[in-house]
Amino acid sequence: MIVGVLVELANKNVDKIFDYKVNAELQKSIKVGIRVLVPFGKQIVEGFVLEIKKSSEYNSDLKEIINIKDEEIVLNEELLELGKVMHTDTLATLISCYQAMLPKALKAKKGSVINKKFQLFYQLNKDLVNDLQKITTKQQLIIDKCQKEGLVSRKELLEISEGALKTLIKKNILLEVKKEKYRLNYNSSKLQQKELTKEQKQVVEEVLANKEQLIHLLYGVTGSGKTEVYMELIEEALKQGKSSIVLVPEISLTPQMVERFQARFGDKIAAIHSALSEGEKYDEWRRIVRKEATIVIGARSAIFAPLENIGMIIVDEEHSDSYKQSDLNPKYNAKDIAIYRSKYHKCPVIFGSATPSLEAYARALKGNYNLLKLEKRINDRELPTVHIVDMNKEIKNSKGHFSNTLLEAIKKCLDRKEQVILLLNRRGYASFVTCKNCGYTFKCPNCDITLTYHKSSNTLRCHYCGYGEKVYTTCPKCQEEALNNLGVGTQKVEEELIKNFKTRILRMDYDTTSRKGMHEKMIMAFKNQEYDILLGTQIVAKGLDFENVTLVGVINADTSLNIPDFRSSENTFSLLEQVAGRSGRSKKGEVIIQTFNPDHYAISYTKMHDYDGFYKKEMQIRRELKYPPYYYLVNIKISGKDSTYILNEANKIKKSLQRNLLNCIILGPSTSMIFKMNNIYRYNILLKYKKEDNLRIILEKILDHYKTVSKIKIDINFNPSQML
């Protein structure tokens, strides 16, 4: 027997299948999709079995596989095929595509061993129990419990009597059984589903009745009950014996979603997201493989869950750019993977959002997606009233970063014993530290960005490479004591709140939620009204549902507008509309948006909750500037330690593209938004096109040309979500 093995090495030079012989002893256990240990050069590496065949053109030189790593298949037929599609679409190595699908414990990589956890149980030795002569009352209670339940945990039996348990074990009446214990536990009890509104029922019925169109866009205003629709559709899939996937964009949303789904579906759910430990991910993966969990909830990587017979795929908050993996290869988009799996299983995929991405909404209006709408909030609750505060006029009279309008609104809200959410799209104490005397600004020595001041640790930190240094008292350039904190961070705003209000304030940003489990604890604490004000960055803007929140304040709406990205207006409108939707879920709500650009259409359309108006305006601009959804984009990042060499090579690449691509607009090379990161210089070449048949062939040739050049790295990103 010959097997084709894809080895663990992510080097493009060895990104191909190598043939190995299989000895007679191992042949019965070989399956496509399992991991094996193989000799490769002077190393022993892991790899995936992708082929089983009778012969090889290299028969005389073949080495034997050393051992088999798995009893169960790690990558099923669908996932193996999906990896090949990702490899073609993203131009990433095939092994990196497969590794993106797996928890660390199952990746083909040396040293990645996660131990299973076990719990002690006991069962009766039926051969001896009937011969038992003298028996105490406590011993009889233990025997009765084991006869009734079969396996009983040691903990439960100890509660009856430790002495009786020890005696029965010593006499071999009770036999010890080791049973694997999962690290996460889900309650098996279930709650009854809520009665759907007329609108919700219509959406559910249309999805189930529409057998021709599998891709649906659910455009529902905030608070319209999209989650109830998702659960009803999944219930229907369960009735047919089918499984489901639910994607959410942020880790912070997962606990609330898991809580709601667990209340409805009990222990049928499994959670997959980056906040879990590697052991927890390993357990969840095996629960799915063993069909113990049939509903998978999680962030981007949950789309690769090894479910079979999928009946429903949900992508909540589909507008979020976090569904696109932008930093590592493969640079896949979970929404594309959702569509692929939907077609493979012939099941519906639902993209849901209160602010759909322009691409999705355009496809829905064109008929490529089926457009579904939820235009009313539950119980016909009104959308919150939005007030725009012009900070150009307020700045002279405002206290710190709060306008008088917002301060007064917070006071009234607190007086009514209601809760407030404040959004600040920053973290840290101040954006940067500069010298008032000479203008010197503290910058990261490794990256081309300013350092952020963190008051709690009295340090300046780089949010890209992690570099940090203590704060100076004098300017290192002019030696004057003239340092000044500029900009605004969550810590600074928290201090201002404390000065103005004697109340309970919860700050929720990267710094306060970095410890495991903090997202969930904070969300539950605010939901249980242990705090009155929730101050946070973007993580407080999406999906969270708090009944007692009646005021949302946006400290500075302009932050995301100032990012040099063609999506900045869309991202701003989406962020503002999403955070506004946290207000007035069960009571009358209001939103106060502070801005220096009150006439910008991204802000003015938010005031009217007018997504359609914003869509038409933004689409007009996109058409004129040749951006998605009218054109596709490819970003080519050329990076290395020698700036001059990198720029020269970038210009060579541009000339090659100009010779070979006749239907592309080619822009650059230009410096990346962050030109220097971790002592690496970065240039971008941006391609815009509608149709270019040779594109992937030409890009593949460029990658092949540079794959052995260590001084340069070429990174290709199709339809990037961020232009960094």
Please say if the pLDDT value at position 286 is more than 60: yes
CATH architecture of the domain 198-379 equals 3-Layer(aba) Sandwich (3.40)
Identify whether the C-beta of residue 605 lies closer than 8 Å to the C-beta of residue 593. no
Q: Please tell me the distance from the alpha carbon of residue 679 to that of residue 682, in angstroms, as a whole number.
A: 10
Strands (E) located in 63-214: 67-68, 118-124, 152-153, 174-180
CATH architecture of the domain 632-718 equals 2-Layer Sandwich (3.30)
Average pLDDT over residues 211-231: 94
Tokens of 286: 């095996």
Identify whether the C-beta of residue 661 lies closer than 8 Å to the C-beta of residue 650. no
pTM passes above 0.75:
yes
Q: Which CATH class is domain 381-431+487-621?
A: alpha beta
SS3 call for 419:
strand
Residue with tokens 């709408």: 373
CATH number among 1.10.10.10, 3.40.1440.60, 3.30.750.24, 3.40.309.10, domain 2-106: 3.40.1440.60
The pLDDT of residue 427 is 47
Strands of the sheet with 452-454, listed across from one edge:
452-454, 459-461, 468-470
Compute the half-sphere exposure of residue 57: CA atoms within 13 Å on the CB side of its CA.
2
- What is the overall mean pLDDT for the chain? 88
Count helices and strands in the chain by DSSP H and E runs: 23, 30
Check if 198-379 and 381-431+487-621 are the same fold.
yes
SS3 call for 229:
helix
The pairing of strands 269-272 and 295-298 is parallel
Q: Which of 155-169, 267-281, 367-381, 625-639 has the lowest mean pLDDT?
A: 267-281
Q: Please tell me the distance from the alpha carbon of residue 407 to that of residue 9, in angstroms, as a whole number.
A: 57
List, for residues 170-206, the tens digit of each pLDDT value: 888 898 888 776 666 666 666 667 889 999 999 999 9
The pairing of strands 385-390 and 243-247 is unpaired
Tokens of 532: 């009155």
Element (H, E) at 166: helix 162-170
Q: Please tell me the distance from the alpha carbon of residue 669 to that of residue 557, in angstroms, as a whole number.
A: 31
The pLDDT of residue 683 is 93
Q: Please tell me the distance from the alpha carbon of residue 604 to that of residue 598, in angstroms, as a whole number.
A: 7
The pLDDT of residue 428 is 47
Please say if the pLDDT value at position 154 is more than 70: yes
The β-bridge partners of 64 are 21
Measured in degrees and rounded to the nearest 5, phi and psi for residue 146 equal -70, -35
Average pLDDT over residues 707-719: 93
Q: Please tell me the distance from the alpha carbon of residue 471 to that of residue 12, in angstroms, as a whole number.
A: 44
Please say if the pLDDT value at position 483 is more than 90: no
Q: Which residue has the higher pLDDT, 179 or 375?
A: 375
Q: Which residue has the higher pLDDT, 344 or 401?
A: 344
Q: Which residue has the higher pLDDT, 435 or 608?
A: 608
CA distances 314 to 218, 298, 545, Å, are: 10, 11, 19
- % the chain with pLDDT above 90: 57
Q: Please tell me the distance from the alpha carbon of residue 20 to that of residue 45, in angstroms, as a whole number.
A: 13
Average pLDDT over residues 4-26: 89
List, for residues 22-69, the tens digit of each pLDDT value: 999 999 999 999 999 999 988 899 999 999 998 888 867 899 999 998
Question: Using omega within 30 degrees of 0 as the cis cutoff, is the peptide bond preceding 629 cis?
Answer: yes
pLDDT range class, residue 419, cuts 50, 70, 90: very high
The pLDDT of residue 88 is 94
From the number of C-beta atoms within 10 Å of its C-beta (0-12, 13-18, 19+), residue 161 rates as middle
pLDDT range class, residue 110, cuts 50, 70, 90: very low
* Domain ranges across the chain: 2-106, 118-180, 198-379, 381-431+487-621, 632-718
pLDDT range class, residue 455, cuts 50, 70, 90: confident
Tokens of 593: 């948006």
Q: Which residue has the higher pLDDT, 253 or 196?
A: 196
Number of neighbours of residue 613 by Cβ within 10 angstroms: 13
First-to-last alpha carbon distance for the chain, in angstroms, is 49
CA distances 581 to 402, 546, 552, 585, 592, Å, are: 21, 10, 9, 8, 12
- Nearest residue to 192 (alpha-carbon basis) of 241, 261, 263: 263
Element (H, E) at 611: helix 611-625
SS3 call for 606:
helix
Element (H, E) at 207: helix 198-209
- % the chain with pLDDT above 70: 93
Torsion, Cα 205 211 213 218, to 10 degrees, reads: 20
The pLDDT of residue 130 is 66
